[in-house]
Amino acid sequence: MAATSKVVRPPQSPGALQWLRENLFNNLLNSLLTVISLAVILFTLAGAFRWVFFTANWEPISNNPLLYLVGQYPRDDLWRLGVGLVLSSFLFGGSWRVWGGVLRTLAFTYALFLLAGVLWPLQAETLTLTMRAFLLANLVVIYLGFAFAGFKFVRPLSVLFGWVFTLIITLVLLHGISSVAFLPDVSTGLWGGIMVTLILAIGGITLSFPIGVLLALGRRSSLPVVTIFSTAFIEVIRGVPLIGILFLSSIIVPLFLPPEVRIDRLLRALLGMTLFSAAYTAENVRGGLAAVPPGQVEAAKAIGLNNFQITILIVLPQALRAVIPPIVGQFISLFKDTTLASGVAVLELLSVGRSILQANPQYIGLQTEVYLFIAAVFWILSYLMSYASQRLEVALGVGQR
């Protein structure tokens, strides 16, 4: 008679009370520390709650929403930004449908920002009912983009091209075209706030990544000229602080240009941040290239692939996959470093906050509220980038296979 096999089941997880008893109240000292820590946490949270909702004066933020968003950009030309906003809303909905996952979270967060604009305190005279209605309509546009992406002819590549087109057309509209009567030029000296911060961050990230990859490949090149140039560029840029690079690109470079050649101030700041980030990205990518086993290259050569095919199809994908965390960390650092652009007279978010405090005597002593608001904006956007990185790592199996 065959012996019956015993089914072994995993142990059940302990309940909440048992976990508390085993980890927080397992002896007299831990129990005392737990009670004291809980009292300190509750006291701190209660004080923060009272300050945020009853004591703090948020008028510098609630009365100037457009200054924080776009700086002194002409209010009559805000329709240009509105076009980019509608296109972005449509693409957020489409990206949600096509890719899902992290794009769903980003689309939902974007919708919350739009809803926050709709529900912004009414004392903000610059945020008119028409603007609130426009922001509310963008929520409907997100749904339309989600529905449109359900058609079979919509492919992920087409959505990606849509984002590139939206970025280009928005920048063209914001700057204007002098030869077009209804689209006059708007000096970037009038741009400001979150709009400039995002332009510097997105532009720096988008441009520095391919440059960094090329520099990393160039440093490992067998051609001495390419290797020396790439190494010298990386080491020189990494040896200089970002504020020095910004001063160099904004103040020193124009001195070497002909008098009739003038590079836009915002463009010069973007150039400096791009070069600085590219040097650090190159070192991150070089670490990923060194981590690819030599056997991968030998196997690729054995099946007849040339050096270009080996790099593009075998080595580079594995290298980039391995260094997603440090690359995203570098991008988050670049996003926060956009505040240094204030040193070269670029009115990004932090500069606008300072200007509002200095220009209004009634806001004296309200620095804490303004800087806390700015910190919250940076934290939310930085966390979204970190969250997207974590989801991408899980999808690619980084550290697992």
Query: Which of 198-207, 239-248, 324-333, 387-396 is the least confident region?
Result: 387-396
**Which tens digit of pLDDT belongs to each residue from 18-44?**
887 878 888 888 889 999 999 999 999
Residue closest to 89 by CA, chosen among 76, 106, 75: 106
String of DSSP letters for 65-109: HHHHHHBT--GGGHHHHHHHHHHHHHHHHHHHHHH-THHHHHHHH
Provide the greatest CA pair distance for the chain. Answer: 101
**Rounded-to-integer distance, Cα 9 and Cα 12, Å:** 9
Q: Decide if 49 contacts 142 (C-beta within 8 A).
A: no
pLDDT band per the 50, 70, 90 thresholds, residue 184: confident
**Which tens digit of pLDDT belongs to each residue from 298-352?**
888 888 888 888 888 888 888 888 888 889 889 999 999 999 988 888 889 999 9
**Rounded-to-integer distance, Cα 112 and Cα 132, Å:** 13
The most confident of 116-120, 140-144, 343-347, by mean pLDDT: 140-144
Q: Which pTM value belongs to this model?
A: 0.85
Chain centre distance of CA 372: 19
Q: Is residue 254 classed exposed, middle or buried when 0-12, 13-18 and 19+ CB atoms within 10 A define those classes?
A: middle
**Rounded-to-integer distance, Cα 49 and Cα 33, Å:** 24
Query: Which of 143-152, 197-206, 262-271 is the least confident region?
Result: 262-271
Residue 244 in tokens: 């020095």
Residue 144 in tokens: 């339309």
pLDDT at site 194: 92
**Rounded-to-integer distance, Cα 163 and Cα 154, Å:** 14
pLDDT at site 3: 54
* Distances in whole angstroms, Cα of residue 26 to Cα of each of 23, 40, 242: 6, 20, 51
pLDDT at site 254: 76
pLDDT at site 122: 60
